[in-house]
Chain A
Amino acid sequence: MKTTKDRILNVLDILGKLIIIVIMAFPFLWMISASFQTLQETIAVPPTLIPGQFNFDNFKEVFKTVNVWQYLRNSLIVCTCVVFLQYLIIVPAAYSLAKIDYKAKPLMFALVMVGQMIPMQITFLPIYFMFSKANLMDTYTALIVPFISNPFGIFLLRQYFMQVPSEVIEAAKLDDASDIKIMFKIMMPMVKSALVTIGLLSFISNWNGYFWPLIMTNKDAFRTLPIGIALLKDADSLQRWNVIMAGNLLLVLPMLLLYILASKKIRNAFVYSGIK
């Protein structure tokens, strides 16, 4: 008796999980399929699941409608600069908070916590005023600099640095190593996994970011890919969903591939950032 009941429960268990998988994965498959459909196919009833023929016509149309290469270039510049420049800022800050004693340290730590707490959706308007006064609108500076003092990064690195035994630093100091050398040559290699976590998270969030570049850019020369792809929807007055989906696939595919390649690592990074 028990085995029959158990078997039924097992089938229900599998069925339930498959339903979740379909709900979560289907929209992506639909997007991929639509990118290859003709306009007729996108409005056909019943819906076209597998396109009649596979060609890149829709993608060509995307490149004709908006300046994809320019947006892609900007996105890559911004993401790369944020990921690497932030290390120059956050590694010293985290080292200072973890390993050096000075009076204003609690205040500095509070500053990091406030930075983590206050979202840019609150600060964007004053920063907009500041940048437009300094003629920094439509520049890479406006897209990069606000992100390189990554307070979460400082917080996480500080946790890691605190676990490095002080003897390691004392020994290096006896050898007359400078703080710079201790940080970059001795400490950084010891916290590689935290550095990768921080880099991955800021790459993903800057690649996907829409709000910030929307406010800081008005010219194609500095627009990032999410802005450009969102423009595609408005630029296409015919609402050719096959073309719009092809454009969106260009934005989605790099992240999808990255996630397939490093799904465990990425999920762990988000758990770190979530739980702290």
Chain B
Amino acid sequence: MDATPPPPRSVLEAPDIARVLTRIAHEIVERAKGADDVVLLGIPTRGVHLAHRLAAKLHDITGGPVPVGSLDITMYRDDLRLRPARALARTEIPAEGVDDRLVVLVDDVLFSGRTIRAALDALGDLGRPRAVQLAVLVDRGHRRLPIRADYVGKNLPTSLREAVRVQLAEEDGRDGVLLGRREPAAEG
């Protein structure tokens, strides 16, 4: 599907993703000394599914409910003018709100950091969290902004000519992370 010459190489399989998410959930609980005031906000599309999975795991660990929502960053992007106007995804803030909470942003791939910059701006318009942390499934490097993740599923050294593709059962029918050749038009 991706590039034809070398087929994409699988980096994480379904069981790896499950283990990684379990570890991140434990790390969140450890860092936050419980997860009482944690709110998980996924960045559409795949970040939202990851946030829901993390919430389920946090619930298994702490027993308490973990509010989970989604945060669309389209209107805050810095590259809007570079492409035709795009469709918006859903922003769903849990009823508890984000004020004085520990917000953990969840995304699939951390790359330039621009998405997270936009997410921080979007979050600022929604309330004033006690703190904001970032959890990503894959950190592929090549940061363009002073942003780092607090919880990383897998550090994946990549070249700029490569593309990282995260597949999740909710969206793609299967779990997996693929590393392949980057298509000319695509961007991570």
Say whether A and B bind each other: no
- Measured CB to CB, the residues of B under 8 A from A are none
- Measured CB to CB, the residues of A under 8 A from B are none
